[in-house]
Amino acid sequence: MRPNSRAVLLVNVIVIGVILTVAPGAWAASKYKVLYAFKGGTDGTFPSGALVFDATGNLYGTTVNGGSSGTCLYAQGTGCGIVFELSPAQGGEWKESVLYRLQGGSDGGNPNGSLIFDTAGNLYGTTAQGGEGISFGCGTIFQLSPGSAVWGESLVRTFCAAGANDGYFPRAGLVQDAVGNLYGTTESGGADLGGVAFEFTPSSGGWTENVLHSFCLVGNCSRAGAQPVAGLTVDAAGNVYGTTIDGGQVTFGCFGGFPPGCGLVFKLAPHSGGGWTEGTPHHFSGPDGAGPASSLTFDNQGNLYGTTTYDGAFGFGTIFKLTPNSHGHWTRSILYNFRGGASGGTFNSGVVFDAAGNLYGAGAGSACCGVIYRLTPGKNGRWTYTALHTFSGGQDGGEPSGSLVLDNRGNLYGTAGIGGAHASGAVFEVTP
C-alpha cells in the first residue's frame, strides 16, 4: 500500500532530517508546448543537454545523432549529431536551422553537453567521441564561428592526441570565466584513469591546456572521486566546483560502482603562484543520495544546489543543498527525496532558480518518461514540490536531459530525448 503523506513526512524526518510538503502534479496550472519536433534525418535525432539563448532570443543546442549519413560509436540512429538553432517565427512557431553536421571523424561526433557563447558570438561545445585516439576517438572541444549559412568549425582540443593523461570522453558542456578561460571534465582518462577537470586558456597562438585535477579509478583511490560526468561551476573567486558519480568516503559501492563510494562534490581552489588544491565539500553515503551526475548551482548567498541519480529515502535520488560556514566546512540539507512514478527519479539534470527563488528541474524518471518540477521555498526550511509536466513519451516527448533555462519572463525551456511527432525528440517550453 502506498504510504500517506504524513507517513512519508515522518520517514523523511527520521532518515534525512528535512521537512518537505508535496503538491501533486495535477495541481500545477502550467502550460506545456513543443517548440520543435525533430524528424530523425538531416535535422538531427535525440537532442541532449541544456539549451542556450543568444541576445535576440534564439535557442541553440545539440543532438546526439542525426545530421549526416555517418555512423558513430553511440549509434542510436544514423548520423553523428548536429548543432542547431531555433528561431521564433510568426504565429508562435519556431524554425530550425542546422548550423553544423558532425561527421564523426577528426571533427568529432555525438555532442552530448550544453553549448556556451563567448563575447564574440562563437559557440563552444564538446563531443563524446571522434577526433583521434582509441577506436572511434576520444572526443573533442569544438568552436563554431558564425557564417552566412553553415557555421565554420575549428577544434580547441582533440583528446588522446598526445596520450590519455589529459583525459578522454568529455560528456558534459563547458563553462567560461570572466577572462575567457574554458573549464570542463572528461569521464575517463587522466593519470589515474578516473577522469579529469581541465582548463583551456586562450592566447594568440591558440589554446593552452591545464589539467586541474586527475580523479582516481585505479591504484590508491581512498576517499577520492572518480568519473566526473557533469559540467563544472565557477564562483566569483575563481574556485571550480563539480561532482563525481563514484568514489568518496564510504567503503562500499552504492550502486555497484567502482571504485567504492557513492560519489562526491569537489572544489578546486587556484593558488596565487599556480596549481590547484582539491577540497571535498561533501561525500555522499546513500541515505542522502548517490551518483551525482549533474552540474551545481549557486544561490545569491553562496549555497550550492544539485541532484543525485539514485538512493535517498526512496531509492530514486535527491535534491540537496550545501551551505558553507566561516571555517571552510559545508552543511548538507536534503530538500526533496524523489519517489519514482509521477515524482520522478534517476535525475541527471541540475536545478535552476527563478527571480522569486523557486527551483526548477527536469529528469528522466524511474521509468518512462520523466517530469518537469518546481520546488517552492517556505518557512523554516520547508519546500513544496510541484510536478509541472509529466511526460508521456508520445507527442510531448520524454526522457528530458540537461538543466532547464529560463527566459526573462520566467518561461522554462529544455530538450526531450525521445518522443515527439517523429519519435526523434523535441524542444519544449513550459510556462509555470
Q: pLDDT per residue over 335-379, tens digit each?
A: 999 987 766 666 778 999 999 999 999 987 656 789 999 999 998
Q: Cβ neighbours of residue 112 under 8 Å, at least 6 residues apart?
A: 48, 49, 62, 64, 126, 127, 128, 171, 172
Q: Cβ neighbours of residue 408 under 8 Å, at least 6 residues apart?
A: none
Average predicted confidence (pLDDT) for the chain: 85
Q: Tell me how far apart the alpha carbons of residues 161 and 130 are, in angstroms, rounded to a whole number.
A: 11
What fold does the segment set 11-407+414-422 form as a domain?
Answer: Neuraminidase (2.120.10)
pLDDT digits (tens, 9 = 90+) for 149-201: 678 999 999 988 766 678 889 999 999 998 899 999 999 988 888 999 999 99
The b-or-e profile of 239-261 (16+ CB within 10 A means b, else e) is ebbbbbbbbbbbeeebeebebbb
Is the confidence at residue 12, as pLDDT, over 50?
no
Q: Tell me how far apart the alpha carbons of residues 242 and 263 are, in angstroms, rounded to a whole number.
A: 11
Q: Tell me how far apart the alpha carbons of residues 302 and 78 are, in angstroms, rounded to a whole number.
A: 44
pLDDT digits (tens, 9 = 90+) for 254-282: 766 667 789 999 999 998 888 899 999 99
Q: Tell me how far apart the alpha carbons of residues 432 and 346 are, in angstroms, rounded to a whole number.
A: 23
pLDDT digits (tens, 9 = 90+) for 296-310: 999 999 999 999 998
pLDDT digits (tens, 9 = 90+) for 201-240: 998 888 999 999 999 887 777 678 999 999 999 999 999 9
> pLDDT confidence of 312, banded at 50, 70, 90?
very high
pTM: 0.89
- Domain residues of the chain, as ranges? 11-407+414-422
Nearest Cα to Cα of residue 127 among 83, 85, 163: 83
Nearest Cα to Cα of residue 309 among 318, 301, 300: 318
pLDDT digits (tens, 9 = 90+) for 43-66: 999 999 899 999 999 999 999 998
User: Residue 73: its pLDDT value, please?
Assistant: 61
* Under 8 Å between Cβ of 267 and 278: yes
User: Residue 22: its pLDDT value, please?
Assistant: 40
Query: Residue 293, exposed/middle/buried by CB under 10 A (0-12, 13-18, 19+)?
Result: buried
Is the confidence at residue 135, as pLDDT, over 70?
no
Q: What is the residue-wise DSSP string for 338-393? A: --SGGG-----S--EE-TTS-EEEEE--SSSS-EEEEEEE-GGG-EEEEEEEE--S
324 compared with 28, residue with greater pLDDT: 324
In this predicted structure, which of 127-141, 168-182, 397-411 has the lowest mean pLDDT?
Answer: 127-141
Question: Helical H runs in 275-332?
Answer: none
User: Residue 17: its pLDDT value, please?
Assistant: 36
- Per the DSSP assignment, residues forming a β-bridge with 390 are 371
Nearest Cα to Cα of residue 187 among 197, 178, 179: 197
